[in-house]
Structures are given as C-alpha cells and as structure tokens.
C-alpha cells in the first residue's frame, strides 16, 4: 500500500499542521490466535512503521519551517540591513 507523505508547505501556507497520530495498538484479545498471515499484530507493526516515517518527515518539515522563520527574522532585522 502506498502512503502519501506530507510535503513541505509552500511559502505563506499555514504551518500549524498537527503531528501524525500513532495507530491504535490492538488488544491481545483482538488476535484470534489461529496463525493468520498476516496477523493483526503484523498489520499493526506495518502501520507503526508508516507512522514513524510520517512523524520523522513531519518533524523535519517543522524544523525547516522554524529555521526559515529564523532566517527571515535575521534578514529583516535592522542590524542585518545596516551591515549591507
């Protein structure tokens, strides 16, 4: 299954996107214990891997956005303008 990963927002786009939410771990009682392939816990682990990848990308995107904001502040600051 292909999962769409979020991309870096364009300039001026809202940056208040929420972090991805982790999948709900199945209860032990959710497993039928009949050796299904894939087991509900295998499916959970796969979804957990996808969640971790989405979270890592979300964190990286938000770090880039924060750095870009800091750079814009520095460039717009009076001290930066007077040095040129």
Q: What are the extents of the domains in the chain?
A: 36-78
Using pLDDT thresholds of 50, 70 and 90, give the confidence band for residue 1: very low
43-54 pLDDT, tens digit per residue, is: 999 999 999 999
Enumerate residues 6+ apart whose C-beta is below 8 A from 15.
Answer: 9, 62, 65
72-82 pLDDT, tens digit per residue, is: 888 887 775 55
Mean pLDDT score across all residues of the chain: 82
Dihedral angle sign, alpha carbons of residues 40, 43, 47, 48: positive
**Does pTM surpass 0.75?**
no
Q: Select from 6, 29, 31 the least CA-distant residue to 19.
A: 6
Tell me, what DSSP letter sits at residue 8? P
Please, are residues 4 and 20 in contact by the beta-carbon 8 Å criterion?
no
């Amino acid at each position: 299954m292909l999962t769409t990963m979020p991309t870096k927002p364009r300039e001026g786009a809202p940056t208040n996107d929420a972090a991805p939410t982790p999948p709900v771990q199945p209860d032990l009682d959710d497993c039928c214990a009949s050796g299904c392939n894939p087991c509900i816990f295998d499916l959970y682990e796969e979804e957990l891997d996808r969640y971790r990848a989405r979270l890592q990308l979300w964190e990286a995107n938000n770090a880039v956005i924060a750095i870009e904001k800091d750079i814009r502040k520095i460039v717009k600051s009076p001290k930066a303008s007077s040095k040129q």
